Structure 1
């Protein structure tokens, strides 16, 4: 069997839906196996789990090899971040470090094998890519939120420390208390305790909640949704190009070229 036949077989296997579902099932089974190891189980059962763990690792290795052979341009395979991530996870999982000082690292790497679900499911990959793309814009929102937190924490520590030092003793503890208020974790108990001394302190708490929970969190959601829509449109354009369909930009470019030809004539 020559390499071209092996490559064609790899391409058919890679694009086969049954094979994809099989690998996804193995990833889910790997996650369940990791969870099973957190319980106290007999030594014999642990030996079986170790054998299953090696079986899963070799299936992942086989799947990576199939994907690599199916790639027409082998140099482009490791230019994709998810291919690098999957390969590193599989290679490190093959290193026998269970009984060494690096056993904790080995277990941690095996836990991250669950992340391979993201690289296999396009929808999950799209969501994660959108979240990563939104991080620079989210950074400014987080910075502004921190400023609001700091100002309100300084006010709370200055005025409420004498009422409850455990919640308002210094600015760092005050910021933790405000995070509790923002997440609505028994925030009314905090507010009513202060209102017993300062009757108008409800203005402080309500204004903080409106600024953080309602305003800033909605801004975060809006940024993520906008980036997600952009990712969807880019993916659709890429699919249209692969299928030979013309995009709006291509049509407008062709129309402009035709106008130039007509005007030149």
Structure 2
């Protein structure tokens, strides 16, 4: 049997090297090319946030806002670049300032359908509401609404903005549909100037300082309540009924009238001054001495009215009933604890405390009233106020230290980021230089081309383009930066200081 040799194996196919097809990252394709760089991507399922870099600053955003716009979406990337731009915040602050001027210029005495009131209600207010609503929509698209950690409503400072937008839209809808019953929404317009608290960083610092000092003021409040109650008890015990002490023409009431018209008569002399203490009604009308008396519950029994045969249920005659000689307020007295606390609070504010002291000196006595108020004013007004200010100042220092630590940490991160970018730039430059040396012998290499005026102009244009790109990349969001330290001005400076530009201008001259 003839044996057949096995078929020879086919020669292996030659595997020629193939150039890889370059694939641009999604963020660099078409309309997505921009300054926003994704440092790390999160997972929508796990709620992990994405970290992005924009204008030499890194921050976190949600991976998908409103479950619609992913981070690699061109629309969302452009919106993030817009709402984090310093000019956007300045424009919103200008709108808030303009709206405050409109509210301050509104004349509530005039009709709303005439003059500036009509312009404010029908032109300015809808325009401002539209801009504020657009700002709200852009920020929600950029950062999300409420689900993620960095969402719009997760920042308490945005709650006021949200209320202003919702009430403004409802009011504008009411004006369009001419519905009644929601006119109260107009009062929410007064909240718009308060948006400056969110727009101005310095205002945030002050408000945060005050809010952080509130828990620490608890002990101060307890001390203030103890002092108020203590002085109130002493005041009610000593000065109860003092403000009803007046001068009468007769020493005690007399019963007049008959057959059901009986009443007690105790006429006043008409002097507007308390009596019973420093003043004792020595100088009555016509030079005759008067008689001091108070009401039936006076703390001094000697000044209570004495009824012959008892009160017998008869009323006071007209103009004879005891009344407060100085009725500025029914609560400025020491007749009970409530009015005593209000009187002490008024004296603590140093509002008219000397008038109260002088009247009590006339109605009770010089020494006791003087000692009482000389203890009340320093302790409640000076001591408590300085203790409260010390607590607020301590909270301010703590908040300033925390802010300084955060600023130092951000500065360290920014330096680290800049060092990383510089290292990447050096590596890119070294790679480009190496590639340039490899192709230096090629006739198309730029080093082998003769220099010409057109070539110099092209090189100058490329330098200006690189300067513009560098200026735009180095633009940072800094409210303290001077007005000229912005990308457009830096680009103009780069063009104006270019040698080719200067030579061209000289040629035209």
Q: Which one of the candidate residues 177, 197, 205 is aligned to 2:373?
A: 205
Q: How far apart are 1:154 and its partner, in Å?
A: 1.9
User: CA distance change for structure 1 residues 72 and 180 in 2, over 3 Å: closer, same or farther?
Assistant: closer
Q: Indicate whether 1:47 and 2:118 are aligned.
A: yes
Q: Which one of the candidate residues 112, 115, 118 is aligned to 2:194?
A: 115
Q: How far apart are 1:4 and its partner, in Å?
A: 4.5
Residue matched to 1:83: 158
Q: Indicate whether 1:56 and 2:132 are aligned.
A: no
Q: Map 1:64-143; keep pairs closer than 5 Å.
A: 64-71=136-143, 75=148, 76-77=150-151, 78-95=153-170, 96-97=173-174, 99-104=179-184, 106-143=185-222
| SS class of match (2:100) | helix
- Contact 2:76/2:141 (8 A) holds in 1: yes
Q: How far apart are 1:7 and its partner, in Å?
A: 3.8
| 1:119-174 Cα deviation digits (max 9, x unpaired) | 11111112112211211221331232122112212211221123215522222112
| 1:67-96 Cα deviation digits (max 9, x unpaired) | 334439982222111123312321221013
Residue matched to 1:261: none
| SS class of match (1:168) | coil
| SS class of match (1:80) | coil
User: CA distance change for structure 1 residues 84 and 163 in 2, over 3 Å: closer, same or farther?
Assistant: closer
Q: Which one of the candidate residues 406, 414, 417 is aligned to 1:238?
A: 406
User: CA distance change for structure 1 residues 241 and 65 in 2, over 3 Å: closer, same or farther?
Assistant: farther
Structure with the higher fraction of residues in strand conformation: 2
Q: State the TM-score, normalized to the length of structure 2.
A: 0.44
| Partner Cα separation in structure 2 for residue 225 and residue 174 of structure 1 | 31
User: CA distance change for structure 1 residues 11 and 91 in 2, over 3 Å: closer, same or farther?
Assistant: same
| SS class of match (1:164) | helix
- Contact 2:213/2:395 (8 A) holds in 1: yes
Give the RMSD, CA atoms, in angstroms: 2.5
| Partner Cα separation in structure 2 for residue 242 and residue 68 of structure 1 | 25
Size of the aligned set, in residue pairs, is: 245
Name the stretch that deviates more: 85-94 or 39-48.
Answer: 39-48
Q: State the TM-score, normalized to the length of structure 1.
A: 0.82
User: CA distance change for structure 1 residues 102 and 143 in 2, over 3 Å: closer, same or farther?
Assistant: farther
| Partner Cα separation in structure 1 for residue 352 and residue 183 of structure 2 | 41
Q: Give ranges in structure 1 of 5+ residues lacking alignment.
A: 247-265
Name the stretch that deviates more: 173-182 or 71-80.
Answer: 71-80
Q: Give ranges in structure 2 of 5+ residues lacking alignment.
A: 1-30, 33-71, 245-323, 325-332, 415-509
Q: Indicate whether 1:180 and 2:346 are aligned.
A: yes
Name the stretch that deviates more: 183-192 or 195-204.
Answer: 195-204
Greater relative contact order structure (CA < 8 Å, 6+ sep): 1
Name the stretch that deviates more: 113-122 or 231-240.
Answer: 231-240
